[in-house]
Amino acid sequence: MAKYENLVDRFLKYVKVNTKSDEFSQTVPSDPKEVAFLKDLAEELKEIGFSNVRTLKDGYVFAEVPATPGKENVDAIGFISHVDTADFNSENVNPQVVTDYDGQSVVKLNDEYSLDPEVFSSLKKYKGHTLITTDGTTLLGADDKAGVSEIIAAGEYMLNHPEFEHGKVVVAFGPDEEIGIGADNFDTKEFGAKFAYTMDGGPLGELEWETFSGAGATLTATGKAVHPGTAKDLLVNPAVVLIDVFNQLPEHDRPENTEGREGFFYLTTFEADADKGVMRMIIRDHDRTKFEERKQMLTTAVENTNKKYGDAVVLVLKDQYYNMGEILKDQPEAVDVAKTAMNELGITPIIEPVRGGTDGSKITFLGTPTPNLFAGGENMHGRFEYVSTTVMEQATDLILKIVELEAK
């Protein structure tokens, strides 16, 4: 790890800071914890030697590594990561370091939870690696603090090695990716990249240029509270009303039943009492036509239920992001460069449609083609999350190789 001597230490420092975003917030960024982390990160970038470090009104921190002499005319390329973590316990993250993992042993997280290779088969490919895990009580935050650490390590390497020739490299670190709003107002003109990459993928080799299109739905049901003993033809139960809507959707089309390019409806939260009920869902599909059909299915289900219960349900349906493959299929340069870089590093590209989305989806539609590259995390968003330090180093190698190829 000598090539990137601060990579792992920086990552271990970052994950100990709680930066969980808040989907119910009305502010941008959504949580003061993110603001504080990004402020500290900006100061750290200045200390390392990044130039033109600035914080934008949407919370993003932009910075640059200037081109080396003679490469000033090379188009700038960018690398982007988010600092927030998902909706799982992220307070008091206590990362555990497992050195020289043998690829077959059970890794004990605490007295209750373990990483068992018979359950998590991905562990078997990490023989000889150093792994960083949770202590079983929190997530780790490799999504996406691994990406943050890798981008900074690559920038630090360029700044400390003037013999490494490169064009201008622009970097961005932002909030609120996990709640789907972080890149809503990403300033692509200010960023100034010909194309960019989000370092927000999982295992070694992931190169993702197709995502779901996504929408979020909030359904609010208003009830009519009546004593159940005298409720005939009067009572309207908000929970029953919302269940009625949900049951009209295709039973198969749920995350637990789907894979590959199959879309779904995912019920994320449900709460109700005698007066009011709220159900939140996300809608996903790779195909734009099917995506629109899914939104219409939900709208029709609400209309049917309102006919039955007297306009008891209000639906708020909002598009979150679209499949960036719609654009990248016609603008493949960033994908092609990444594939070439991986091949030169002996990394086999794994190109599959993402069953999710990234900030790159929005940034691509805002005008900067931005596929997604691996950052190394496994089992993300929960207590079983872990990352290999070797893969983190390989992700940093990839950043530098892409930069090198662009400067030739």
For the chain, the structural domain boundaries read: 2-211+323-407, 213-321
Closest CA to 162 of 77, 71, 75, 74: 71
Evaluate if residue 356 carries a pLDDT over 90: no
Per-residue burial over 210-245, b if 16 or more Cβ lie within 10 Å, else e, is bbbbbbbbebbbbbeeeeeeeeeeeebbbbbbbbbb
8 Å CB contact between 215 and 389 = no
Superfamily of domain 2-211+323-407: Zn peptidases (3.40.630.10)
Evaluate if residue 1 carries a pLDDT over 50: no
Q: What is the mean pLDDT of residues 369-384?
A: 97
Beta bridge partners of 377: 387
Closest CA to 198 of 370, 369, 42: 370
8 Å CB contact between 282 and 266 = yes
Local structure of residue 121 (DSSP, 8 states): G
pLDDT band at 357 (very low <50, low <70, confident <90, very high): confident
8 Å CB contact between 351 and 336 = no
pLDDT band at 180 (very low <50, low <70, confident <90, very high): confident
Q: How far apart are CA 2 and CA 331, in angstroms?
A: 37
pLDDT at 2: 60
pLDDT at 54: 98
Element (H, E) at 157: helix 142-160
Per-residue pLDDT tens for 185-244? 999 999 999 999 999 999 999 999 999 999 999 999 999 999 899 989 899 999 999 999
Active site residues: 84, 177
| Residue 252 CB burial class (10 angstroms; 0-12, 13-18, ≥19) | exposed
CATH hierarchy code of domain 213-321: 3.30.70.360
Q: How far apart are CA 322 and CA 212, in angstroms?
A: 7
- Whole-model pTM? 0.92
Q: How far apart are CA 204 and CA 227, in angstroms?
A: 59
Torsion on CA atoms 197, 200, 203, 206, rounded to nearest 10: -30
pLDDT at 82: 98
Per-residue pLDDT tens for 51-109? 999 999 999 999 999 999 999 999 999 999 999 999 999 999 999 999 999 999 999 99
Q: What is the DSSP string of 195-225?
A: SEEEEEE-STTBEE----EEEEEEEEEE-B-
Local structure of residue 63 (DSSP, 8 states): E
